[in-house]
A and B are shown apart, each in its own frame.
Chain A
C-alpha cells in the first residue's frame, strides 16, 4: 500500500495496510542489501538468482497495475532506446525534465530490494517504474531454458530484446512467480531487461534461469557489459 505519502483512501497493495492519513517517514542510510559491484562478473547464487543489476532511479507513473496500464507504462518512451540501450553505471537519462541515474548494484539477497534502492537515494518508492538491466554470459548455447522471476509489483521482462514475461496486478515477489516459455541463451552475452512498477509499499524483484527440470541453470555468469566475453 502507500507509505511515505499522504493518502486518505483505503488504498491496498502488497505493502502497508492504510486506514488513516500517512505522513512522510524519516530518511535512512545506505541500502542495507545493496552494494556497488567490485568485480567484472559475478556467479549467480546457489539457487541461481542473478544478483548484479543496473537499475535506473525510479520514474513516476500512475498507480495502475492492470494489464493494459502496465503495458502502456513500459511501452511509453521515457528516454531514447529504453528497450535496447545497455547503460553503464552513472549514466544519466532525463525523464520529464528530471535527471535519473543508472546505478550498478550487487544484492546480498536472492532478490533486489527496490525499496531499499530508492529509499536510500531519497527517491519515491510508490507509484513508480524501475528499469533494471543485466547481462548473463553463457559459456555455450543453452536451449530449452526458462527465465523465472518474481516481482513486487507488476513487471515486464525482455530477453535479448524479446518480451518473455509479464506479470500484472498487485503482487509479491514470489520466487518463480512468472516463468517464460522455453528460450535459448546464446553463447556469450544475453541482455535481460525488466520494467517493475510499484503502486506502494515494499517493492523488489528476483530472477533466475531454470533448466528443463526446473533446476537453476549452472555455468552462467552475470556482468553489466553486453560486449563481455
Chain B
C-alpha cells in the first residue's frame, strides 16, 4: 500500500502520520508556507465581500442600511464559536497525547477568539441600538456570548499565571474543555429560550431567505474571517514555538 509522504524543510521525504506536525520543526516549516496563502485569500475574499456588501447588495426593506452590519457581525460571531471549538479541541488533544504543538495551537487561537467575541458583541450593540432600541439586553444569546468572552479571558489569564508552559497548557486545557459546554448553549439559545436575538440568518439545507447579493457578501466575509483566523493563529503559533524552543539547534540555524 502506498503511504503518504511529507517533504521536510531540508527536502527529505518522511512518512506522513497524524503526528508528523506534532514536531515543532515540521509544524514551524508548514505554518510558514501556509500563512501567505491564507493571508492573500483572506484579503481577496474580504475586499470582494466588502465591495458586494457595501456597493451592490440592496437596502433591506425592514432594517434599512443598518442591516449591513451583519456582514461583519455574523462572521465575527461564527468565528468566536468556531475558534473556541478548535481551541478546546487542540487543548484536549495536547492534554491526551502530550503533544506540545497542539497546546501551542490552542494558546495561539485564544486571543483571536477573544477578539472576534468582542467584535461580535460590539457590532451587535451597534446593530441593536437602531433596530431594537437598546445597545444591550440580558437575552440568552447575548449573555452566553458575553460568558464566552470571559472564558477566553479566563483561559489566557490562567495560562499566563503559571510559569511552566507545559503545566499551564494542562491547567488551561481543563478550563477550555469544561467551558466548551457554553458553545451549544450559545448556538441553540435562540431556539431554547424566547430571545430578542433573531434565529440564524443562514441554515444549511434550507433555501436562503435573503437577496443573492446579500448572501454572497456574507459568505465572502465569512471566508475572509476564516482565512484571517487561520493565518493569524498559525503566525502566533510560530511565535510561541520561537519563544518556547528558542534554544533548539534547528531554530538557531534557521535564524542565522
> Do these two chains interact?
no
